[in-house]
Amino acid sequence: MSIVVEHDKRRYEILEKALDVFTDIGFENATFQKIADRCGITRTTLYIYFKNKREIFNFSIKQFLQDLESDITKISMEKNNSHADKLIQLLTVVIESLDENRRILSVVLDYIRYASRGGDYDPDSRVRRRTMRLRHILATVLINGIKGGEFKQSINVKEANDLLYSFIDAAVYRLVILQRSSVAELKAAAKLAVQSFSAV
């Protein structure tokens, strides 16, 4: 196995262990030493892979979003599905991915609470920046559905996009804050919202 593959594999193992630390004691109380201890390595070895705990945290989010964006980009590019089916599939994949990644969502919310104490942290703009690609894909499918006559011409794309994105916000709230075990009703509501766009 090549050195690069081994290095990447080790980084992912560290990320998993670091998420355990962040989940167990919170971002603020997690230290580089505690992460190294959980990984069974020295701090010096941990520095080979990451500069600090914030870089570990940021890399976890980046990896999660890259994987998700790859999945939704494929759906948005499918030629054989209607735009309504694409939107339903997009929202379903995002909600299911959030469900599968509750741990990282929990850590993100903990970090937002921690960072907001300083007063100059703007969580809304940070989250919007991180989810810009997702919002763009939803808007593009909406616009193409309107242009193709599948969706009503009267639809305000920005408002419709905000409506669709609100299901993602709701999923995060239900999964992390309320700790619900299922998001089935949320997926059904998202489907109903998309169907209401239909021009037929």
pLDDT per residue over 30-41, tens digit each?
999 999 999 999
* Confidence (pTM): 0.85
- In which element (H, E) is residue 34 found? helix 32-39
According to CATH, where is 1.10.357.10 located in the chain? 61-195
SS3 helix, strand, coil % of the chain, rounded to 5? 80, 0, 20
Amino acid making up residue 135? R
Q: How far, in Å, CA of 137 to CA of 115, rounded?
A: 29
Is the pLDDT assigned to residue 5 strictly greater than 80? Answer: no
Residue range 61-195, CATH number? 1.10.357.10
According to CATH, where is 1.10.10.60 located in the chain? 1-51
pLDDT at position 84: 96
The answer for residues whose C-beta is within 8 angstroms of residue 149's C-beta and 6 or more apart is 199
Q: How far, in Å, CA of 3 to CA of 71, rounded?
A: 28
pLDDT at position 61: 87
pLDDT per residue over 64-116, tens digit each?
888 899 999 999 999 999 999 999 999 999 999 999 999 889 988 888 888 88
Is the pLDDT assigned to residue 120 strictly greater than 80? Answer: no
pLDDT at position 143: 96
Domain 1-51 has CATH 1.10.10.60: yes
